[in-house]
Amino acid sequence: MSAVIQGARADAAGLPLVIGDPQRIVAWLNGRPVRQAEFLHHVVAVAAELPRAPAAVNLCEDRYHFLVAFAAVALAGQTNLLPPSRARQAVDEVMGAHPGCYAISDRELDASPPQLWRLPRLDPIDAAPALPAPSLPGERIVAIGYTSGSTGSPKPNPKTWRSFCASTARNAELLAEQAAAGANVVATVPPQHMYGMETSVLLPLLADVAVDTGKPLLPADIAAALAALPAPRLLVTTPVHLRALVQSAIALPELAGILCATAPLCRELAATAETRFATRVTEVFGSTETCVIAHRRSALEDAWRHYPGVALRPQPDGTLVAADWFDAPVILQDIVELLPERGFRLCGRNSDLLEIAGKRASLADLNRRLLSITGVVDGVIFQRDGEQPGVQRLAALVVAPELGEAAILDALRGAMDPAFLPRPLKKVDHLPRNETGKLPRAALLQALR
């Protein structure tokens, strides 16, 4: 696959919104190929009808509708607001922070936010004539992504079109190592999440990639979506969905590769997936603040390799990340050990490092030990709100249908120092994961009650 389609050069008018041949397939809509020419007709038509406003919250469920709305909002000179979820409270908070904005949806909502604008029907256009690809100013803020809230309140992160174009070029180069031209992507992550944005919205716009417009979650749905696409196929997913695929008896069609992110991927799961599905699993590392900046083959490697143009500088409380396309360096909570040839090793997050009774551990390691217990389907150890300032207390939520809480605690006693045993440990039917598989802290504390 060509890393990025030729022609993505800045000119006096800015950077292209979409690049490549007008007959290039951008998306697969219910099995029908949507070519770039048809896509641009939809974008231009929607952009002309949008309300006059500074910004819009994109709530479209169908991935093609989301893609069209995203491009139309950007073309109209507005900013796409990307809340951490479609939950009414999250949407209201984002809209409240941006007076005068509106929301876009492609369907009726149970609880509609104020100023809701319905996306018009996007009827098929047979033999759509080619339109010149519009350009956007590189410094235009086309999106504001919000963090997931897994470590606190969601925070806004503005993204310029220049930064999106630059980071997408690196992502496309990474995928070029796995897939030939015309890669077809099935994604299990929502497009408003930054990982989903990069892989299922920006890549179809700026690389030789077409995306399936569905959002399959169950193993059978993922397998069916992949089977409906021609090769080469790429699965963009999360450790939660990958674990479900591995544990199921489902067969997948030939895959050019699997891309995984949103939570740490253990070596055992990556290796099992590679063997089971006869493909390579690539884990990518990034954040809403930085987008993807590094990758590794988790079945074989512990160390990460960051993209060219990225610089990492360890700090006492995390890591300073700079890149040629950043407006300013970004501080991440992740603590790293630098290695030669753009390599680094993650040593945990600043917020994950624990010291209890003079002993030290990391939450990531404790969770790895919990998930390795036979019979534990899913689980998480996390810090409770301490009754006293500076006192660290741990709790756990565990999905283990065949085990009792006492049996799980006994297994943990043999796997970790007793100082770090979670109290309480509560069995639940499922963890309160959001659409990307992450666990917002507020949801964890609520489930513990």
Secondary structure (DSSP) of 429-440: SS----TTS---
Tell me if residue 376 falls in helix, strand or coil: coil
Domain total in the chain: 2
pLDDT at 150: 55
212 plus 281 within the same structural domain: yes
The enclosing domain of 364 has a CATH number of 3.30.300.30
For residue 348, is it within any domain? no
For residue 310, is it within any domain? no
- Among 301, 317, 349, residue at a domain's last position: 301
Place of tokens 């993650």: 346
CA neighbor of 117 nearest in space, from 107, 109, 100, 105? 105
Report the distance separating Cα 50 and Cα 55, nearest Å. Answer: 10
pLDDT at 357: 63
Tell me if residue 186 falls in helix, strand or coil: strand
260 plus 133 within the same structural domain: yes
The enclosing domain of 97 has a CATH number of 3.40.50.12780
Parallel, antiparallel, or unpaired for β 25-29 and 55-58? Answer: unpaired
Tell me if residue 163 falls in helix, strand or coil: helix
58 plus 154 within the same structural domain: yes
251 plus 394 within the same structural domain: no
- Whether omega before 232 lies within 30 degrees of 0, making that bond cis, reads yes
Count other Cβ atoms within 10 Å, centred on residue 418: 10
Taking CB atoms within 8 Å and a gap of at least 24, the contacts of 300-305 are 300/271, 302/267, 302/345, 303/339, 303/343, 303/344, 303/345, 304/343, 304/344, 304/345, 304/346, 305/341, 305/342, 305/343, 305/344
372 plus 274 within the same structural domain: no
pLDDT at 7: 35
174 plus 59 within the same structural domain: yes
105 plus 250 within the same structural domain: yes
Q: What are the pLDDT tens digits along the chain (449 aa)? A: 333 433 334 444 599 999 999 999 999 998 899 999 999 999 999 999 999 999 999 999 999 999 999 999 999 999 999 988 777 888 889 999 999 999 999 988 777 787 899 999 999 998 888 889 999 999 999 999 988 655 556 789 999 999 999 999 999 999 988 776 789 999 999 998 899 999 999 999 999 999 999 889 899 999 999 999 999 999 999 998 999 999 998 999 999 999 999 888 989 999 999 999 999 999 999 999 999 999 999 999 999 999 999 999 998 888 999 999 998 999 998 889 999 999 999 887 766 767 776 667 778 778 888 988 989 988 999 988 754 444 568 999 999 999 999 999 999 988 888 888 998 999 999 999 877 677 888 889 889 88
437 plus 369 within the same structural domain: yes
- Whether omega before 424 lies within 30 degrees of 0, making that bond cis, reads yes
Q: How far from each other are the two terminal CA atoms of the chain, in whole angstroms?
A: 50
For residue 7, is it within any domain? no
397 plus 286 within the same structural domain: no
Please give the single-letter amino acid code of residue 174.
L
191 plus 278 within the same structural domain: yes
283 plus 402 within the same structural domain: no
- Provide the total of helices (H) and of strands (E) in the chain, helices listed first: 12, 27
User: 441 φ, ψ to 5°?
Assistant: -60, -40
Place of tokens 């047979």: 126
Give the helix/strand (H/E) hosting 282.
strand 281-287
For residue 345, is it within any domain? no
For residue 90, is it within any domain? yes
Report the distance separating Cα 341 and Cα 344, nearest Å. Answer: 9
For residue 330, is it within any domain? no
Contact 398, 408 (CB under 8 A): yes
CA neighbor of 145 nearest in space, from 193, 76, 199? 193
Question: What residues make up the domain containing 423?
Answer: 357-448
For residue 319, is it within any domain? no
For residue 191, is it within any domain? yes
293 plus 427 within the same structural domain: no
